[in-house]
Amino acid sequence: MARTLKTLDETDLETALMRKSVGDLTAGRHVCDDCGRTPLVGERMFRFGTSATVCELCTPLRRAEPDAAYPVHHMERGITVRRITPRAA
């Protein structure tokens, strides 16, 4: 008996590509440990202790002072092309 091969149609391929791209985007983003929200570019994140990273909206809910604060950068920061002007000799 011959087996029939499962073929991919366009909707299966689109769904697979969408899931892969969304997974890639969520892997490198900042997420608040309290509310689960992804802060906007330019907002500040606060680190409490060694593991808790909290957004600006959830910071007042904590009693302790944050150990560090840093701004949220765009995902492409550091990998963009920059124009370098040569210095005069």
- Residue 15: inside a domain, yes or no? no
Structural domain count of the chain = 1
Q: Kindly provide the b/e burial profile for residues 21-42, where b requires at least 16 CB atoms within 10 angstroms of the residue's own CB.
A: eeeeeeeeebebebeeeebeee
Q: Are 36 and 69 in contact (CB under 8 A)?
A: no
- Residue 63: inside a domain, yes or no? yes
Hey, what amino acid is at 72? V
pLDDT value, residue 10: 75
The residue range of the domain holding 50 is: 29-80
- Residue 36: inside a domain, yes or no? yes
For 32-89, what is each residue's pLDDT tens digit? Answer: 888 888 888 888 999 988 778 898 898 888 888 889 888 887 766 655 666 677 776 6
For 10-38, what is each residue's pLDDT tens digit? Answer: 788 888 888 887 777 666 677 888 888 88
- Residue 6: inside a domain, yes or no? no
- Residue 18: inside a domain, yes or no? no
